[in-house]
Structure 1
C-alpha cells in the first residue's frame, strides 16, 4: 500500500535530498508543504504516515516574526503525542525539541561545514550506526542549539553542540546536522547561504565546495542505510 510522507520545507534548496529517493523506494509518496506559503492548517496532524520538518535559516523561537512556526509547533505536538512517525532536521530538530518542552537558543558559535559526529552508546545501537564507521563525516549548518527534551535519548554530539541527534521513543528522531545533504544541488546551499558563509570565520565557498566533492558520496550512502534502519524500526 502506498504511504504518504509530508515534508515541511522552509527554503527551496533545503529539501529531503538523498532521503527522498529512499522514501520513494520504500513506497512513500512525497508531498512538500512550503512554510509561510502553503496553509499548514490543511495538514491532518496524525493521519499522514510520516512527517519530516526540514531545515531553514530562522530560529525555532522566532514565531513573533514568523507566525507559521506556531502552526508547526502545534502540528508537531499533536503528532508526538499520538506517537506518529516524525523526523526533524536542523530547524526541524529544534522545533521538535521545543514541541517537547525543551529550550532552543543560540549556540556558542556557528557550526558550518563537513565534520564527524560522536555517537553515544545508544547512538551506536540506533539507526545512526553507519555514521560510527571510521572516517564518517556529516554536514553541519546551524547557529542555534537546544536542550535535550525530557524522555529523549541523546544519540550524537560534537564539541560545539552536545545534542546533535535524539530519539523520542521509536517513532520520533531529530538530527541537528544534515544527514540528507547530497552533492547534487549543493551549489544552491552555497548561493542561498552566501551571507552566512561570508560572516563565519574559517568558512569559505571554495572550501565547502571541495569538502562536498570529497565527502558527499559517502554521506549519501550512509544516510540511505540510516533512514532504512529507522523506517524498519518504526512501531506502526
Structure 2
C-alpha cells in the first residue's frame, strides 16, 4: 500500500477533512509530530505522499523552533526530487521557503470564512471546486513567489493563496480541510485575539463555522481528490 505521512506541527492542526480523500486514494495514512524523538532522523523523501499541516509559528522563527531548519533542509531534498507534497498554511510557507522564497509577516491577520479568487489559468484544475465557496483562513504570514511555481489563487489581502509546481507539488494557504473537525474549538480557545485583530467577532466566526464549514470541507475534499488522481 502507498504511504502518506502527515507532519503535525501542533496537535490541534491535523489533516482533518482531507483524510477521507487521501484514504480513498489508497494511502495508508501515518502521522508524526515534530516533537517526536525520531522526527529529526526521518528521510522525508521516502513517503509516497507528504502532507505538512499548519501551526502558529513562523518559518522565520528558527531560533525558537530549531526543528524548522532541519525540516526545511529535508523538505528541499524531497521537492528537488519532485515527490508528491501537500502543504497547508504553515506547511505551504515551508514549501515556499524550501523552494527559495522569503516568508514574512503579512499586511494584516486574515481570519474567517471567505472565498478565494481562482486564477483563470487554474479554472479547470482541482481548485475549481472552491469557486465561490467560503473557506476558512487563519494566518498572518505570507511569502514571495518561489521560482518556477504557478500561483493558483489569491484573496483581497494576500496574493499568494495557493501555488503548484507541475502535478506533484501543491501549497494552500487557506484551510479547506476545516469545517467539521472539533479541533476548531481549540483554535478558538487558543487564539481568540487573532479573530479580533482581523476585525472579526469570535461568536460570529463560530456561527460561520457551523453554517459554512460542511460546504467548505466538501469542496476541499473534492479538490484534494482531483489533485491526488493526477499525481505522477
Q: Could you state the TM-score of these two structures normalised by the residue count of structure 1?
A: 0.94
The answer for the alignment partner of 2:206 in structure 1 is 209
The answer for the alignment partner of 2:99 in structure 1 is 100
Distance 2:129 2:6 in 1: 24
The CA deviation string for residues 146-194 of structure 1, in whole angstroms up to 9 with x for no partner, is 1110100000001100000000121000001112112231222211323
The answer for the alignment partner of 1:173 in structure 2 is 170
The 10-residue stretch of structure 1 (54-63 or 27-36) with the greater mean CA deviation from structure 2: 27-36
Q: Could you state the TM-score of these two structures normalised by the residue count of structure 2?
A: 0.95
Answer whether contact 2:164 2:170 (CA < 8 A) is retained: yes
Distance 1:229 1:171 in 2: 12
Matched, 1:145 2:142: yes
Matched, 1:155 2:163: no
How has the CA–CA distance of structure 1 residues 228 and 102 changed in structure 2, closer, same or farther, with 3 Å as cutoff?
A: same
Please list, as runs of the form range in 1=range in 2, the aligned pairs for 1:62-211 lying within 5 A after superposition: 62-132=61-131, 135-185=132-182, 186-198=184-196, 200-211=197-208
How has the CA–CA distance of structure 1 residues 108 and 8 changed in structure 2, closer, same or farther, with 3 Å as cutoff?
A: same
Q: Give the number of aligned pairs.
A: 231
Q: Secondary structure at the match of 1:128?
A: helix
Answer whether contact 2:108 2:198 (CA < 8 A) is retained: no
Q: Secondary structure at the match of 2:209?
A: helix
Q: Secondary structure at the match of 2:227?
A: helix
The CA deviation string for residues 10-61 of structure 1, in whole angstroms up to 9 with x for no partner, is 1111100100122122221111111133432332222210001110001011
Can you give the 5+ residue segments of structure 2 that lack an aligned partner in the other structure?
none
CA deviation after TM superposition for structure 1 residue 76, in Å: 1.3
How has the CA–CA distance of structure 1 residues 221 and 106 changed in structure 2, closer, same or farther, with 3 Å as cutoff?
A: same
Distance 1:206 1:65 in 2: 32
The CA deviation string for residues 131-151 of structure 1, in whole angstroms up to 9 with x for no partner, is 12xx41111000000111010
RMSD, aligned CA: 1.3
Can you give the 5+ residue segments of structure 1 that lack an aligned partner in the other structure?
none
Distance 1:173 1:38 in 2: 28
